[in-house]
Structure 1
Amino acid sequence: MVTKLNGRALRLTSVIFVIICLTFLLRYVMNLEQQMNLRKEQEEEQARLSLKEEKEKEMQLRIDMALERERERLEEVNERRAILEPQLSLQNTNIKDLQERYFLAIPSPIPEWSDSTLELLTSPLGQQIKADLLTVPEIFPDFKTLTTQERVFKSVFQYLDPILAEGKIDVTTDPRYKPIWDFYKSLETTIYPWIQPYWKSVFDINNRKKEDKDDSNSDIGKSKRGIVMCVGNGQFQHAASSVKAIREILKSDLPIEIFYINTYDLAKEYIDFFNAIPHVSTHDISKRIDNYYTQFGGWALKPYAILASQFQEVILMDADVFMFKKPETFFEDDGYKATGALFFLDRTLFNNYHQGRKWLKSFLPTHSTYVKQSRWWKTTSTHEQESGIIVIDKKKALFGLLATCKMNDKQERDKVSYTHSYGDKETFWIGFEMMQTPYAFVKSHGAVIGGLGDAGAEGTVCGNQLHLDLRDNRPWWWNGGILRDKNKWDDRYLKFTHYAEGEDWQFETSCIKEKDKIRELSTQEKQIGALLIKMDKELKGRS
């Protein structure tokens, strides 16, 4: 009995063991199948993710390539654009650094042109606006209207410029753009009639003509940078010395263009003198600017000479300007590179001048950050800008230059501009304000170069107006020639011994009264002065 029970127990145990083994085996098989399924799912997910990643990379590559093509397209378009003003902002770190050495004129934005603008002009109510834009006053120039005309001109120009630069659309015939182009041409002719026939439109001004590129005088036709001077018979002696000094003393080969009004303005012998100097050419400006409108005379020629020059980057210098450093240094200036227009401040003279501020407020609806920093606005000086040297990149600053030229047009200068300022001087920065084009003033109100007590108060530096290079705070250039006073003496030369900074000038003797910032010229600067006097005497001896 016991044996039978043990046998049954053994068989039951065996069955249970087999069941347990089968259970474990089943679980193992099921786990193995789950792991295989999981692995398969993971592999499929990995493959899916890899495929997604590849597609995303491919898509990003396409986007990057499209962005690169667009960037290259925009670069090409911008390269071909007629005017490309710098975009300045007070939030820019570089701008904040520059403000330590410059008064930067950061413009107020001008509203952009849009299709709705043209719709307004073509509407019945817009006819009065259009009439104001496309007509000129019969007797007296209206600078408030002129400012509006020029800002609208800038707006529509900037709308058309990238389209013309890309060259895919003919705006003169395309139905969408032809009305805008026709309006633009009418406005351009109204404001700037004197650019034709030498240029077809303002869009052509920065495209050098073939005769300029083929200029036979050295590298003038090839250079994008150069010096422009306006010289008549009365300025020849100063200009001859200045040009020779650039070549023989400063050892600069920067090309120079001499502009004169017509054959009566500069004698042939003087023209021949300049043309014989390497890298110098002479030009009758009436062959480039229609003198019927401008009727050039005196200072008015200067901004137009910049416009007419074949150089894109121009140093405009008066005939009686001389330098201690090579003229190329102006193009290296940080303020110039940031804005495309470098200006210099005049002496602080004649306080309580309220007329300038009143005039600005009468026609400028908005202005740059500089205006309220200016001495004109603060009424502390009759003079703001010294125009002995103007440095302009026409690719960046052509709008401002056009407005300056307009201020020196016959009617505008005789009846408005020159009644508020001494000649062309203030028309540069104010013209830029009319167009809201950026510019930079070197943060120095001028200095004086000469000798101690030379025809002035003892212990003060007396001589001609000097401008400093704030990169090293050394003398850079001066105006007034190398005579002590060109209006008093023909043979009394400037003493090259000292220079002084200050704002309290003795106007009659051209001395700075302050004595706390008097410094001696360096040996090299004194040598340049001596060479200038020697050269000037030799030139006078030949004439």
Structure 2
Amino acid sequence: MISVISKLQSVNQNQRKIHFRDLTGLGNAARIYKDAFDIYYQISVYQPNVTVKLSIEKELLKLEKKLYPWVINGPMHSSAIEALFNSSGRGIVITTGSKYALVAKHTITMLRLIKSTLPIEIMYCGADDLGTNEFKMLSMLPNVRVVDMRSVLGLKRCEKGWENKPFAVLASRFNQVILIDADALFFQPPEVLFEIPRYKETGTLLFRDRTLPFGTYGRGQNLVNMLMDIAKPFKNQLLYSENRLMRHMTSDEIDSGVVVWNKSKAMPAILLTCLLNSAPFKNHIYSNSWGDKETYWLAHEALRIPFSVASDNGGAIGQLIHSDGADMVCGGLYHADDMDRPLWFNGGIGSRIPAKELGITQVQHWAIERTGANVKWEIATEPFCLHGKLDSPLGVNYSHIGKLTPNELNLARNMTELWVELFQL
């Protein structure tokens, strides 16, 4: 512990700010905080020795205020560890502003239709983000609490994009959180995610993005470089060793439409993810990858905090198209469960703002792939389409196309009918 305190003191005495491109330096500082946090947590929970606790507390909180100031500077908790101890239960967290408030209403209504009973927190940042009318509309939904993140966190300025997502988890009262995009739709109650064995073991569950050729949109190598920098001590022994990125099989690795976190096991990673989605670091991250998606993985690898990743790569759900003797499914990004049954997808059903022409996606078929081999996507126009073979055996080295069951088709019709009801002008 003396060594950890010495490292804390050293980094606290350094007045130089970490440059936003210096992910190696950031990773080093974050690991010092994580090591101290772990010791402080263990002392607080299992060995309540006041003298020992105070010996590390001062320097730990000084570094937290320097690296991750949002909880300490907020009106509710004095530190991240206090926020952790005050969190409890399980729930769903969604971020939205006025623009996509109707989308969030659709998602929540469908969650209740499939018998999800989890409490839901909708997070926003300031009146400029979520207007009064939208606030009232969402507050009227059953078992939903609408929260201005500034009532919990000390945020210097409000953002309105992807960057709010990890902060929403940090601000949440829940100890175990399912963070979902406002347009993520489920075929099964999200509660099933908490029961996945690898989530129970690690306390974190992430989902994979589509397998797109390395270099697509100019992405891939820069993400590799960022990963190697922020997780430099572990670059040859990554936790997620089966990732496609390091084998140059894809340009994007992780999708953040759904993220499951147990704060008791992952709090330092949550804090680092927030920092990676904060200026000035987010400017570097976002210019070399797509939004917040890869930051969850980067944070866990940097701190070597265990996490799990779903077994399927991002697929497609929507309409089956026959073209030039080939089959493909066009629609939203799709994920199946471990039994290859539909679990969730994002992107919604059609136009996410009220319109006369909604461009409704006919949700009837799905396509999945698990190996990253022989994958062909059509991405020139939206929705994206994944080529595959209809009713082919699962586990083969190409994409498999299947059809929704009658019950799943009925649920998809309910999704569509509600979408039309909410968005049709």
> Is the pair's TM-score, using the shorter chain for normalization, greater than 0.5?
yes
Per mean C-alpha deviation after superposition, the further-off stretch among 160-169 and 142-151 is 160-169
Q: CA deviation at 1:238?
A: 1.5
Instruction: Give matches, 1:524-539, under 5 Å.
Output: 524-539=407-422
User: 1:136 and 2:23 equivalent?
Assistant: no
Write the letter of the residue equivalent to 1:386. D
What corresponds to 2:388 in structure 1? 514
Q: Find the partner of 2:108 among 230, 243, 252.
A: 243
Write the letter of the residue equivalent to 1:136. K
Output one character per residue of 1:162-199: Cα deviation in whole Å (capped at 9) or x when no partner.
Answer: 322357433xxx4x654432221211111111112332
Q: Report if the CA contact (8 A) 2:104-2:183 is conserved.
A: yes
Output one character per residue of 1:251-271: Cα deviation in whole Å (capped at 9) or x when no partner.
Answer: 222111001111111121111
Q: Find the partner of 2:335 among 446, 451, 467.
A: 467
Q: CA separation in 1, counterparts of 2:360 and 2:86?
A: 41
Q: Find the partner of 2:223 among 356, 370, 388.
A: 356
Output one character per residue of 1:236-286: Cα deviation in whole Å (capped at 9) or x when no partner.
Answer: 221111111111x21222111001111111121111111111100101112
Q: Report if the CA contact (8 A) 2:12-2:59 is conserved.
A: no
Output one character per residue of 1:361-381: Cα deviation in whole Å (capped at 9) or x when no partner.
Answer: 233223354444322212222
Q: Report if the CA contact (8 A) 1:454-1:463 is conserved.
A: no
- Equivalent pairs counted in the alignment come to 401
Q: CA separation in 2, counterparts of 1:436 and 1:269?
A: 43
Write the letter of the residue equivalent to 1:514. G
Q: CA separation in 2, counterparts of 1:203 and 1:460?
A: 48
Residue 70 of structure 2: SS of its match in structure 1? helix
Q: CA separation in 2, counterparts of 1:313 and 1:165?
A: 18
Instruction: Give matches, 1:228-239, under 5 Å.
Output: 228-239=93-104
Summarize the Cα distance change of 1:346–1:339 in structure 2 as closer, same or farther, 3 Å threshold.
same
Q: Percent identity?
A: 29
Q: CA deviation at 1:328?
A: 0.9
Q: CA separation in 2, counterparts of 1:490 and 1:296?
A: 30
Structure 2 spans left out of the alignment, 5+ residues: 370-374, 393-399
Residue 373 of structure 1: SS of its match in structure 2? coil
Q: CA separation in 2, counterparts of 1:363 and 1:369?
A: 12
Q: CA separation in 1, counterparts of 2:189 and 2:262?
A: 18
Residue 233 of structure 2: SS of its match in structure 1? coil
Summarize the Cα distance change of 1:121–1:372 in structure 2 as closer, same or farther, 3 Å threshold.
closer
Summarize the Cα distance change of 1:498–1:116 in structure 2 as closer, same or farther, 3 Å threshold.
closer
Q: Report if the CA contact (8 A) 2:89-2:174 is conserved.
A: yes
What corresponds to 2:376 in structure 1? 504
What corresponds to 2:264 in structure 1? 395
Structure showing greater Rg: 1
Q: CA separation in 1, counterparts of 2:53 and 2:171?
A: 29
Q: CA separation in 2, counterparts of 1:336 and 1:194?
A: 27
Write the letter of the residue equivalent to 1:232. G
Q: CA separation in 2, counterparts of 1:259 and 1:449?
A: 28
Q: CA deviation at 1:360?
A: 2.0
Summarize the Cα distance change of 1:491–1:149 in structure 2 as closer, same or farther, 3 Å threshold.
same
Q: Find the partner of 1:169 among 49, 56, 62.
A: 49
Q: Find the partner of 2:33 among 127, 133, 153.
A: 153
Q: CA separation in 2, counterparts of 1:116 and 1:398?
A: 22
Summarize the Cα distance change of 1:339–1:456 in structure 2 as closer, same or farther, 3 Å threshold.
farther
Residue 344 of structure 2: SS of its match in structure 1? strand
Q: Report if the CA contact (8 A) 1:464-1:484 is conserved.
A: no
Residue 57 of structure 2: SS of its match in structure 1? helix
Summarize the Cα distance change of 1:278–1:305 in structure 2 as closer, same or farther, 3 Å threshold.
same
Q: CA deviation at 1:310?
A: 0.5
What corresponds to 1:381 in structure 2? 250
Instruction: Give matches, 1:71-220, under 5 Å.
Output: 114-118=1-5, 131-132=13-14, 135-137=16-18, 140=20, 142-166=22-46, 168-170=48-50, 174=51, 178-196=54-72, 197=74, 198-208=76-86
Q: Report if the CA contact (8 A) 1:295-1:410 is conserved.
A: no
Q: Find the partner of 2:362 among 492, 495, 516.
A: 495
Q: Find the partner of 2:199 among 333, 336, 353.
A: 336
Instruction: Give matches, 1:39-58, under 5 Å.
Output: none
Structure 1 spans left out of the alignment, 5+ residues: 1-113, 210-222
Output one character per residue of 1:457-481: Cα deviation in whole Å (capped at 9) or x when no partner.
Answer: 96321111110001x2111000110
Q: TM (normalized to structure 1)?
A: 0.69
Q: Report if the CA contact (8 A) 1:316-1:390 is conserved.
A: yes
User: 1:433 and 2:301 equivalent?
Assistant: yes
Q: Find the partner of 1:265 among 97, 109, 129.
A: 129
Q: Report if the CA contact (8 A) 2:238-2:301 is conserved.
A: no
What corresponds to 1:404 in structure 2? 273
What corresponds to 1:287 in structure 2? 151
Output one character per residue of 1:496-536: Cα deviation in whole Å (capped at 9) or x when no partner.
Answer: 22111243211124111222422111001100011111112
Residue 320 of structure 1: SS of its match in structure 2? coil
Q: Which has the higher helix share?
A: 1
What corresponds to 2:372 in structure 1? none
Per mean C-alpha deviation after superposition, the further-off stretch among 371-380 and 456-465 is 456-465
Q: CA separation in 1, counterparts of 2:306 and 2:43?
A: 24
Write the letter of the residue equivalent to 1:531. N
Q: Report if the CA contact (8 A) 1:466-1:478 is conserved.
A: yes
What corresponds to 1:422 in structure 2? 290
Write the letter of the residue equivalent to 2:98. N
Summarize the Cα distance change of 1:337–1:372 in structure 2 as closer, same or farther, 3 Å threshold.
closer
Q: CA separation in 2, counterparts of 1:120 and 1:449?
A: 50
Q: CA separation in 2, counterparts of 1:489 and 1:468?
A: 32
Q: CA deviation at 1:311?
A: 0.6
Q: CA deviation at 1:492?
A: 2.1
Q: CA RMSD in A?
A: 2.6
Q: CA separation in 1, counterparts of 2:116 and 2:306?
A: 29
Write the letter of the residue equivalent to 2:252. H
Q: Report if the CA contact (8 A) 2:354-2:423 is conserved.
A: no
Q: TM (normalized to structure 2)?
A: 0.87
Write the letter of the residue equivalent to 1:186. K
